[in-house]
Amino acid sequence: MATEVLVPPLGQTTDTVVLATWYKREGDPVTAGEPLFAIETDKATLDIEAPASGVLRDVSAVEGEKLEVLKCIGFIAAPDEKLPEAPATARASPTPAASTEAPLPPPPRQEKPAGGERMFVSPRARRLAEERGISLENLAGTGPEGAIVERDVRACLERQAAEGIEQPRAQASNEVLAESPLEEVRAITAAVTLTAEVDATQLVDLRQQMAEAGTAVSYDDLFLFILGRVLKEQPALNASLEGNTLRQWKRVHIGVAVDTETGVVAPVVRDVDGKSLGQLAQEASALIERAQAGRLSPEELQGATFALMNLGTFGVDTFTPIIVLPETAILGVGRIARRPAVKDKSFVIRETVWLSLAFDPRLVNETSAARFLQRVAHFVERPYSMWV
C-alpha cells in the first residue's frame, strides 16, 4: 500500500517549514527509518526519516520551498503501484509561487486510516490523550490529512462522559499536578525578570575537583542538576500554558539553549529531577552535539516544562532571557568571574555569577518566583548541600 510522505508537525508554534534537501530522488529505493529529506525551521535543520520502504514516487516539492506542516509531498510505494489521489488541500505546490485563489474549505472528517498507514497526531492531542488514557487507535481525525487534533480527543471525552464511561488515566509522558484556567489568573502584558548576584566560588571549586577526579561537567550540567531539585521542590514554575489552561507538571523536562549555525535551539533534557549529575552531563552533551550538527529530531525539541540559557561563555554578565511559550519561565546564567565582594566586613575576591529569572506574571506570582531564585542561589553558593 502506498504511503504518503508528509511534512511532520513540529509543535504548536510552527506552521510552515522550508524543504532544505532531498536525500533521495524520485525513483530511488527507500528503506523505512533512513533519512529521506531535511527541513529547516527558524530554530533548526532536522532530518526526517522515511515512513516506509519502497520507491520514492510523485515528488511534488522542491528544495528551498516553503511548506505547510502535514502537506503531502510524495509517496513511497511499489514501482508499478497505482497511487491514490491526494486532496488538493494536502498536496504541496511544485513551485514556491504564491497562489491568488481563494482559500479552500477545511477537509471533511476522515475515518481512521486502514491498517499499515501512518497516523498523524498533533502534540497537544497526543498529550491530552496520554493524560486521559484515550487510545488514539480508536479516534478519527478531523485535522489536515486526517490528523488527530485536540478537538478530536475532547470530543471523545465528551462522548464518554455523556455515556457515563469513566476512562482511566494512562501513564503519560508527563503528569499534571494542578490546573488553573487562564481566566482565573491576573492578566498582564509583559514578562518580569528577577536578577541576583550570587557567590559561585564553591560551585567553581566543585567543578574543578570533579575534573581533577576524571569527571568533566559543564556549568550547564551543574545548573540542570540544581534546577531539577528546585523545580521538584517548587513546581509552580515547572509549568506550561496549554491553550487557556495553566498546567503544573510532575516530571521535570528542561530545554537547554544551544547556539548553532542556524540559530538558537533548545533540545529538551528529560526527567532532570531523577538523574545523577553524571547522567545529565552525558545526555546534555549528546543533545548539544546533535543540535550543532543539525540532527535533532522534532521530539527532542518538544515537551519542555522550564528553560535554561547560559550566555556566560560569550562574556555576558547579565541579560533578560526570553520566555518561549508554552513554557512559563526561563533561567538566564551570566559569566562567572572574579569580582570584589564584602565578607565579614572585609573586601575579598570571590567567583560570582548573575542569575536572571524571567517569568510570565499572569501565571507565576512574584513571591513564588523570588523564592525559586533564592533557592537556586542557595545551591549555587552551597552545592554540596544537594547531596546531603
Q: Could you read off the pLDDT of 107-149 as tens digits, one per residue?
A: 333 334 444 455 566 656 776 776 677 777 778 887 655 778 7
Question: In the CATH scheme, what is the code of domain 1-88?
Answer: 2.40.50.100
- Helix axes of 219-233 and 366-381: crossing angle, nearest 10 degrees: 130
* Domain topology for 119-172: Dihydrolipoamide Transferase (4.10.320)
Using CA of residue 203, residue 358, residue 258, residue 318, what is the dihedral sign? negative
Count of CB atoms situated within 10 Å of the CB of 95: 10
Homologous superfamily (CATH) of 178-387 is: Chloramphenicol acetyltransferase-like domain (3.30.559.10)
Q: Could you read off the pLDDT of 304-348 as tens digits, one per residue?
A: 999 999 999 999 999 999 998 888 999 999 999 999 988 888 899
Measured between alpha carbons, how far is 295 from 273 in angstroms, rounded to an integer? 26
Per-residue pLDDT for 103 more than 50? no
**Domain range summary for the chain, segments of one domain joined by +:** 1-88, 119-172, 178-387
SS3 163: coil
Query: What was the pLDDT predicted at 167?
Result: 53
**Domain 119-172 matches domain 178-387 at the CATH topology level:** no
Burial 284-304 (b: 16+ CB within 10 A, else e): beebbebbeebebebebbbbb
pTM of this prediction exceeds 0.85: no
In the numeric block, which cell numbers belong to residue 3? 504511503
In the numeric block, which cell numbers belong to residue 365? 506570582
Only one residue has cell 529569572, namely 357
